[in-house]
Chain A
């Protein structure tokens, strides 16, 4: 009993911190330009494929099983490729539509999403099938003894959770304390006045996509290393979860994205284990929770009741 419960909690926290990491990208972009960047899940997927490509082509086979070499190479490659793709999407797809009606960039985001999937397919033609992803961390499982048995957690899962939470915490400090973070918040609250104060909104927006993309790229690589396989649908699935997490936590809030992500991870793993229907219904429980929370707290956990905009 207890070992099963704690194992599902552990699984939920690992998955949840990943979802939170992806959700940061949704929430930051929405906070600054009020765009739901539906392509963000694909950015996460592109990061994973970028990491895989770096491991396949950049890393000499002789040292490929040394995780302390493979891990940084894969992480940097995944982050850089995902960040570049995110910035390119902003520059060429969203920026020309910045003053267009809301629906136009939203549809464009869906288009970018399809375009990114097809672009990956050019390099990995049978990408719908699961591709093996090499191990990039200490292999094996940590067995934590508890009364009645043990709770197994993959080392790669521990890494995924710790890195995700550390990056989210770092982002929060950056946005709260740094001059650039101040510029980002100022741009989110009143873009015209921010410009008057010498802040270049375009630079802030590019930086937002860059940070969100890099975080998603890191997430993609860690996710690949955790499950040891990736496929082209991983972006869509986890993107939906992450978007839901961002809304649940209060879109625009960094803290909310992380808490929302953890909540969804736990609901998915515990609901799959204990609620009727099993894992076949875990999506249902996630959206039931979302609906219930939004009925009572439409702004999400940490959202502001009203956005004060000029």
Chain B
């Protein structure tokens, strides 16, 4: 096994009296695709927010390649963790290319003065950024929409554009929050190919999905989060057969519920 790249240790998140995450620990290894599943409200997106510095965990820590990540989204992105959002968060009034270029912002150093002066260094870095943006759009298959405003893109393509923007930050870890939500079977299939291609670029991926079939056939390992706790972690086969997972998703088996009713009557 290769070295862990992202490591969450005892991440706990308390909002007021509600414990959204309880002592969640896991490691993501280099080149791995991990699936994160669980019922609604299990804390999946909260975990992503903790991993990307949007939330400061109440307890616990997140480390990238052994270095603890700050609770500052910009610094987390700069360190190499990028993400997409369950509810798409593109810059709606900017073109697809511009959206990707903004993703590149974190890797560029020229300030406003240099862009006013249009020095050679500025022009070189702009040209390089434009070239990279073009390549990234081609990679996710959006070349034809390069100059289209993000808000005019079809829904599935908006999700792809968000992935392209995340990749523009040159991440070593990519967190995808429901990348196939609202997609048809064909789009879902091409998203799977895209995620595999991203992994082949050397980016490790964590995917949140409700579509368990998608997760079980795509991921190397699967984490099951239930009521803020990591219930099971293992290979798709191990997780699929685990009775606790079935229980979490479908509720307790009928005979057990009956037994509980009996107990409470006594």
Contact = CB atoms under 8 A, between A and B. Distances in A.
Interface of A: 174, 178-183, 185-186, 189-190, 192-200, 207, 304, 308, 310
A197 B101 CA distance: 10
Contact of A310 (B77, B89, B165): B89
A179 B92 contact: no
Given A180-B111, A189-B94, A304-B93, A199 B102 contact: yes
Contacts of A192: 73, 89
22 contacts: A178-B116, A179-B115, A179-B126, A179-B129, A180-B111, A180-B115, A182-B101, A182-B102, A183-B105, A185-B98, A186-B91, A186-B102, A189-B94, A190-B91, A193-B89, A194-B102, A195-B73, A196-B52, A196-B77, A197-B105, A197-B106, A308-B93
A98 B128 CA distance: 36
B169 interface: yes
Task: Assign chain B's interface to a size class.
Answer: 20 to 34
A259 to B, nearest CB: 19
B77 A197 contact: yes
A225 B73 CA distance: 49
B94 A198 contact: no
Nearest to A252: B93
Contacts, number: 77
Interface string B78-118: 10000100010101111000100111011110111001100
Contact of A207 (B77, B106, B112): B112
Most B-side CB within 10 Å, residue of A186, A198, A199? A198
Given A180-B115, A195-B73, A198-B78, A308 B106 contact: no
A186 B165 CA distance: 13
Nearest to B165: A197
Contacts of A174: 115-116
A182 B92 CA distance: 13
Contact of B91 (A178, A193, A207): A193
B113 to A, nearest CB: 9
B111 A190 contact: no
A172 to B, nearest CB: 14
Residue among B83, B87, B103 facing the most chain A CB atoms (10 A cut-off): B103
Contacts of A183: 102, 105
